[in-house]
Amino acid sequence: MASPAGALPVILLLLVVSCCRRISGAFPAADALRRVAPRAGGLCEQLLLPLRYPCTEHTVETKDGFLLSLQHIPYGKNKANDSTGPPVFLQHGLFQGGDTWFINSPEQSLGYILADNGFDVWIGNVRGTRWSKGHTTFSVHDKLFWDWSWQELAEYDLLAMLGYVYTVTQSKILYVGHSQGTIMGLAALTMPEIVKMISSAALLCPISYLDNVSARFVLRAVAMHFDQGKTVASIHQGLIIIWMIRKGTFAKYDYGLLGNLRHYGLLRPPAFDLSSIPESLPVWMGYGGLDALADVTDVQRTIKELRSTPELLYVGDYGHIDFVMSVKAKNDVYVDLIRFLRENGWHSSY
């Protein structure tokens, strides 16, 4: 069922844009995998446990001090403990959280469906979202808490969360992302320290290039250079990805000429090289004909830059939100997605 129009462009924007400027500094890599005590009253307690799904809360620290919440659903409510399959990691889009994967009924939501199909489900929650508002130094009221872009979500948040799951399970991970979760995923898969932990990747509404974005609010913000205004900080998560839209690039943060020389040794920020994603990595992509952000033309450009040929699922009447919120997504999308995950990560040892 295609998403209704009207307020949809604003909703779609919130699913891909990332927040304010950036934090810099070096931290020991080991810090990213340090576990701290989980807080009570999290997603498990509010959503999963009342429906009799096993669920535990975990917290990891990124190397720039953010405390991220993870949820672990090792099997479905009707499965035995010894039937747990391979770990699958679900990464939400922006201005959402891990609860995105449980928005509909257990029969209709991907998170429940994967657990009931025997997968070892892990839910990621990036910095600044409802479930991940902690930091070792700053509070959400501090400006520096929001001084980062989507690049840190890939290089710091995913590294910390996937590293934790990899360490706990001692197994390669099936990665599933939606919207900004695909931006993060594609960038992260160009990093050898992350891609070595991944057995396959499934991307719902994959985004890297945004040349053909048609959501009106996004285009208006680009024309106004809205991301340069101080109003961005007041809404906490702003429009940092809009430099990206204007320039038609999939690149690291642009500090300006002098800043780029300091950070990268280059006048312009380096691009994330999609051709560096290993050809041997199985990739699946699901995209829709009514998607105002992950436009078909931009998706095709992304596909051409990959060395491998991804498996594709095209749903002509699906918009950006439908892949996670449509009550028809189980039959339209998830059946094929689960087939892919089983064929590219489910080994005889599970």
CA 191 to chain centre: 15
The yes-or-no verdict on residue 36 having pLDDT over 60 is no
346 band by pLDDT with thresholds 50, 70 and 90: confident
How is residue 19 written in tokens?
A: 């927040």
HSE, CB side, 13 Å, CA atoms: give it for residue 42. 25
Catalytic machinery residues: 179, 291, 320
The Cα 294–Cα 320 span in angstroms is 7
Mean pLDDT score of the chain = 81
Q: Of the spans 10-14, 31-35, 251-255, 269-273, which averages the highest pLDDT?
A: 269-273
Task: Read off the pLDDT of residues 91-146 as tens digits, 9 standing for 90 and up.
Answer: 998 778 999 999 999 999 999 999 999 999 999 999 988 899 999 999 999 989 98
Residue 250 banded pLDDT, cuts 50, 70, 90: confident
pLDDT at 146: 87
Q: What is the pLDDT of residue 95?
A: 73
Confidence of residue 149 (pLDDT cuts 50, 70, 90): confident
Coil, helix or strand at residue 27: coil
> What pLDDT score does 18 carry?
35
**pLDDT tens digits along 170-204:** 999 999 999 989 999 999 999 999 999 999 999 99
Residues 288-329: tens digit of each pLDDT: 998 877 778 888 889 999 999 999 999 999 988 899 999 999
38-57 burial by CB neighbour count: b if 16+ within 10 A, else e?
Answer: beeebbbeebbeeeebbbeb
Question: Does 229 score more than 50 pLDDT?
Answer: no
Domains recognised in the chain with CATH numbers: 40-210+270-342 (3.40.50.1820)
CB atoms within 10 A of CB 112: 23
CB-neighbour burial class of residue 226 (10 A; exposed 0-12, middle 13-18, buried 19+) = middle
> What span, in angstroms and rounded, lies between the C-alpha atoms of 255 and 235?
22
Residue 43 · residue 37 · CB < 8 Å: no
Mean pLDDT of 143-168: 92
pLDDT grade for 237, boundaries at 50, 70 and 90:
very low
| Per-residue pLDDT, 209 | 63
pLDDT band at 207 (very low <50, low <70, confident <90, very high): confident
Q: Phi and psi (nearest 5°) for 312? A: -125, 140
Q: Is the dihedral of CA 213, 219, 223, 224 positive or negative?
A: negative
Residues 6 or more apart whose Cβ sits within 8 Å of residue 204: 176, 177, 178, 179, 181, 182, 286, 287, 323, 324, 333, 337
DSSP helix/strand/coil, 312:
strand
What pLDDT is attached to residue 24? 36
pLDDT given for residue 249 in this prediction:
72
- Neighbour tally for 26: CB within 10 Å: 7
Q: Which residue has the higher pLDDT, 339 or 93?
A: 339
Question: In this model, does residue 233 exceed pLDDT 50?
Answer: no
Predicted confidence at residue 241, as pLDDT, reads 52
What's the pLDDT score for residue 17?
37
Neighbours of 31 (CB within 10 A): 15
Using pLDDT thresholds of 50, 70 and 90, give the confidence band for residue 240: low
Average pLDDT over residues 41-52: 92
Place of tokens 């594709």: 312
Tokens in use for 313? 């699922």
Q: Mean pLDDT throughout 237-242?
A: 49
Name, of 9-18, 202-211, 262-271, the range with top average pLDDT. Answer: 262-271
Q: In this model, does residue 81 exceed pLDDT 80?
A: no
Q: How many residues does the chain have?
A: 350
Residue 293 · residue 213 · CB < 8 Å:
yes
Structure-model confidence comparison of residues 48 and 349, the more confident one: 48
Cβ distance 126 to 151 under 8 Å?
A: no
